[in-house]
Structure 1
Amino acid sequence: MDTNVSITLLTPNDYAQWDEYVDSKTASSLYHKTAWIEVISKTLKQKPLYLIAKNSDKSIVGVMPIVDLNSWLFGHYMVSMPYFNYGSAIAESIEIEHALIKTAIDLAQSSKVSHLQLRADHELELPDLHVNTHKVNMVLSLPESAEALGKAIGSKRRSQIKRPIREGVSHKFGGLELLDDFYHVFCHNMRDLGTPVYSKAFFSSILETFKDNALLCVVYWQNKPVSTGFLLHYNGRMEIPWASTVKYANRISVNMYLYWQILSHAIEQGFKEFDFGRSTIDAGTYKFKKQWGAEPQQCYWYHWVPEGKEVPDLSPSSGKFDLAIKVWQKLPIPITKLIGPPLVRNLP
């Protein structure tokens, strides 16, 4: 590594240069963009701390977005990046990437956090860090036409897509004008899963901030919204960070129709890949995504913890949240909308 490389906290003066650097890198994701600083700080009330590495000529040679999360329920910790599947450092060399991570660890130590989590899509070659590899991102290489996709998924899936069509479903793609319908379905589905919901303001902020990268799809049945997906796209890849279907519509396979319309749209718009999001291998969601032809891409989630400490398990599947999940599933929707956002802002 160039000994003249300096690593500092990002200031607004470098936002434009940071984003230009991110846009120039194939390894970057939408979640490396500086616009998330305002979204996260204003709607989730958490503290972004972004690290920027510069050469002696002041050119950027590496970046690393970090969010400092502080909660009475889950403690004080840092994640790069929370709420999403991608983050960690991107840099001109392994040496600079490691230097950014070392600086992040120093920042975590000085802040006395319980742990630092890095959500990488590749091995970091840092043996001193704990790594979890039980999750994968399911990614589909999109064919050139919806017809080709239809042939690839087979007759059983095609018949499942036709069922809701016979039932008279319809769909819309759009932005803020569909947010109420999206949020209605999202809140019902999250309640049934026992999961706190994000605020509507969070989704509104994303749609407003990333006008050219964000899109909603809502499916209607009997004049009511019943299934929906929140879509983000960047660098030739479309992904679906949030998808929901109301329970009573599952009997007509409306989620199959939703994904068919979304994938067909992605193909028509010229995207090369579709990211279904992360799953545990062989879990139900993994098998659902696999049937569309998606292939697993390994997640490498690294953790630094202070010496003598263990990595805390904040996963809903850990078992310690079982009672809370059962209680949440019985709450009225208006209550979940009220108390959900203050809780979920602390869940990475």
Structure 2
Amino acid sequence: MQVKYLSPEEDCSVWNAYVLAHPKGTAAHMAAWGRAVYKSMGHPLYFMYVEQGGRIRGLLPLVHVKSRLFGNALLSMAFSTYGGPLADDDEVLALLDEECARLSVKLKVDYVELRNMDQAHADWPCKDSLYSTFRKELSPDNEDNMKAIPRKQRAMVRKGIKARLRAEIDETVDRLYALYAESVRNLGTPVFPKSLFWQMKEQFGKDCEILTVCTEDGQALSSVMSIYFRDEVFPYYGGGTVAARHYAANDFMYWSVMARAVAERQCRIFDFGRSKNGTGAFNFKKYWGFEPRPLHYEYYLREGQQIPDINPLNPKYQLMIRTWRKLPLPVANLLGPMISRSLG
């Protein structure tokens, strides 16, 4: 067995085939995700894989993110929820680990972060109480899916229906980005560059879909970008205006994604993505009847380093968050991409 690297400019069809076939593969492991980050942010991308007899036995996509504000790290996968190592067995995983350690020394990073659904290394430092993910099996009958939503949350979906909201599929990222930018500014978070959204759409092609919710008179209230992977739908980047709450537009939006995924794509799994435990987003997903599943973020640390704490719940970022919420939207949209590209 040999450890090799695949250039993001090369044909990645064999890489993608392995991800699609692996039981723990996710959209974040697909070459399209890494390429989108690489092309929009400019961060070095390392598609590491183990080969034996001309076939892939395991892989690990890594992004090198280096900044004065947030440190120097290898992330698998940056700007995503998942993306840790995929391997046929422990021997292959050990080879990926060894190469990961070698690369981390070469690049002089402070740490390597592997974003896993399930723990892969019992002896690695692990953060498993910060984030949870929410995944649920769907019925092929959308009437059953509606009934499966808890009563109070179902009432919010019906409120959006009664308000005659419309779900529209966008071919450009313009409305999504405007709504997303406003939403994250209100949360005190720097917005990602628009080029990331364009690249996600470009790289995933027909497997990337943007759904925007509008009022009867055409006012856009909320929007979300979903990635389709195997028989799963993964609504990821989304946002809405303050007025969206009045119309229950976000509730209607996620129901529309779910219903469309079943009717148009025969999806079986709805992946609500990660949320920080104990936050409003975490509770919102529980209200939909989804059970939280702890995520296991594992770390290979340089000697003397500790597990990083780069998240909005860290008290040292609270002043920045409060200040950011007060910025005029054009200013936040100008400055945000300069900062957010280093967050990972």
Q: CA deviation at 1:326?
A: 1.1
Give the one of 90, 100, 103 matched to 1:104: 100
User: Is the Cα–Cα contact under 8 Å of residues 132 and 294 in structure 2 kept in the other structure?
Assistant: yes
RMSD after superposition: 1.7
User: Is the Cα–Cα contact under 8 Å of residues 87 and 118 in structure 1 kept in the other structure?
Assistant: yes
C-alpha distance after superposition, 1:87-146 (max 9, x if no partner) = 11111112211220221122112221111100011121341x210111211011112212
CA distance in 1, matches of 2:302, 2:236: 31
1:120-135 counterparts in 2 under 5 A? 120-127=116-123, 129-134=124-129, 135=131
CA distance in 2, matches of 1:107, 1:21: 23
CA distance in 1, matches of 2:162, 2:335: 39
Secondary structure in 1 aligned to 2:22?
coil
CA distance in 2, matches of 1:40, 1:256: 29
Unmatched segments (≥5 aa) in structure 2: none
What is the aligned length? 340
Secondary structure in 2 aligned to 1:108?
helix
In the alignment, does 2:196 pair up with 1:199?
no
User: Is the Cα–Cα contact under 8 Å of residues 84 and 114 in structure 2 kept in the other structure?
Assistant: yes
C-alpha distance after superposition, 1:30-51 (max 9, x if no partner) = 2222233432222111110121
User: Is the Cα–Cα contact under 8 Å of residues 141 and 294 in structure 1 kept in the other structure?
Assistant: no
CA distance in 2, matches of 1:25, 1:318: 35
C-alpha distance after superposition, 1:19-39 (max 9, x if no partner) = 222232222112222233432
Unmatched segments (≥5 aa) in structure 1: none
AA paired with 1:33? M
User: Is the Cα–Cα contact under 8 Å of residues 35 and 203 in structure 2 kept in the other structure?
Assistant: no
Match of 1:245 in 2: 240
CA distance in 1, matches of 2:38, 2:151: 47
CA distance in 1, matches of 2:171, 2:94: 39
Match of 2:322 in 1: 326
Give the one of 52, 61, 64 matched to 1:65: 61
AA paired with 1:132? K
Q: CA deviation at 1:311?
A: 1.8
AA paired with 2:261? A
Match of 1:147 in 2: 143
In the alignment, does 2:15 pair up with 1:21?
no
TM-score (normalizing by structure 1): 0.92
CA distance in 2, matches of 1:88, 1:155: 36
Match of 1:275 in 2: 271
C-alpha distance after superposition, 1:262-292 (max 9, x if no partner) = 1111221210010111123443222211222
C-alpha distance after superposition, 1:140-181 (max 9, x if no partner) = 1112212112222244333222323333322212332xx211
Q: Structure 1 stretch 336-345 or stretch 158-167: which is displaced more?
A: 158-167
Give the one of 248, 252, 261 matched to 2:256: 261
Match of 1:90 in 2: 86
CA distance in 2, matches of 1:223, 1:212: 25
In the alignment, does 2:312 pair up with 1:342?
no
Q: Which runs of 4+ in 1 moved over 6 A?
A: none
AA paired with 1:219? V
Give the one of 227, 231, 234 matched to 1:236: 231
Match of 1:40 in 2: 37
Match of 2:212 in 1: 218
Match of 1:188 in 2: 182
Identity of aligned residues (%): 26
Q: CA deviation at 1:341?
A: 1.1
Q: Structure 1 stretch 276-285 or stretch 209-218: which is displaced more?
A: 276-285
CA distance in 1, matches of 2:76, 2:158: 41
Q: CA deviation at 1:244?
A: 1.1
Match of 1:8 in 2: 4
TM-score (normalizing by structure 2): 0.93
CA distance in 1, matches of 2:300, 2:3: 19
